[in-house]
Amino acid sequence: MTALATLRREARHRRFMAELRLQTASGIIDTEAFTLDTVADAIKGKGLSWLDIKRPDDSVKNFLLNVMEFDELAVEDIFGHADTTAMKFSNHRFVVVNARDADNQLDTEPVAIFLSDDLIITVRHTSIPALMKFRRRFKEAEDDELALGIDFLLYEMLDAIADDWQPILGRYSKTLDELEFCVFDPEEKYDNLLEGLHDLKRHLREASKSIESLHAVTLRMLNQKLKLISSGVTVYFSDLNQLCTALVKRANNYSAGATSTRDTYLSNISMELSKSNAQLTEVMTTLTIIGAIMLPLTLIAGIFGMNNEDLPLDMVGGFWGIISMMTIFAVSMLVMFWRRGWLNNFAKK
């Protein structure tokens, strides 16, 4: 029982520990072969390296501050609310972008990136699919590409995050086309159209957070006054900036299309409601006319139909006199309604 409790305790401890992954140009280094304190020794002489840290804890904070000697404010950002940025310090550079996370709810999470000499460090709090793509890119990179330095790895990472959105935006485009078809289909009514349009708008907003952060970072990277990247990778970042610009336009166009489709759907609903109200008004008008004519006639018939000898039937001409009076009253009411235009709907029919 004690051994089982110990195993459970260790499992819980591992679950809340930071996950480390170290990859060099030579390959992946086993997690058992290094610790945060021995990263420098593990990558020595192995060229460009990437340390990926998931769910950072206090040991990671201590490593970044005391071992790597990174800027304190930059390190604090990754444990708080990290905003999109690209900055250069005396011994490192610091970049934060938003990327798509891997949970079932589509949203974005910040990825903090530190660059120091031949080492690139990523710090994140959740799984990021784009980093899996970057892992393959790093493994398959050519020697002449790696010769460009750590800036090339930064380009590959940001490009992987941007490419991660292309199939997602493709699905959004298909979803938008389907919703537009449903809205403009006159032969069938579809359920949950408004909810679908709102969900699409929400997903596009999340996509824009990541894409626009990438766009902002690449623009800063290309600013020669800031000297954030070497001249050898400028052409790569220019290409990445063009991709981000295209993605921003796609996301904005889809968002505008979703808004237009939603407005059209609401207009159709409003028109149908107006037609329904018009039909209801017509029915109420008809009932009002019938009631206005029949109620007085019912009153006359009720009075002269009473079993009372004092009724002056002879004064009104008896039975046929009463019928004539009721007819004249009904015709007079119809003429009055016609002059007021209440009978126009019946004339159109």
36: DSSP letter: G
Domains and CATH numbers, the chain: 1-148 (3.30.460.20), 277-348 (1.20.58.340)
The answer, yes or no, to whether residue 281 has pLDDT greater than 50, is yes
pLDDT of residue 162: 96
pLDDT one-digit tens code per residue, 37-47: 999 999 998 99
pLDDT of residue 7: 42
User: How far is residue 150's CA from residue 135's CA, in Å, rounded to a whole number?
Assistant: 14
pTM: 0.77
pLDDT one-digit tens code per residue, 302-349: 766 666 566 665 666 666 777 787 788 788 877 887 777 766 655 555
pLDDT one-digit tens code per residue, 24-67: 998 999 988 999 999 999 999 899 999 999 999 999 999 999 99
Give me the mean pLDDT over the 136-165 stretch. Answer: 95
pLDDT of residue 120: 98
The answer, yes or no, to whether residue 130 has pLDDT greater than 50, is yes
**Strand 119-124, strand 49-54: pairing:** parallel
Contacts of 47 (CB under 8 A, 6+ apart): 24, 25, 26, 118, 146
Per 3-state DSSP, the chain is made up of helix, strand and coil in percentages (nearest 5) of 65, 10, 25
The tokens for 342 are: 């209440």
Task: Identify any residues that bridge with 194 across adjacent strands, giving them in sequence order.
Answer: none
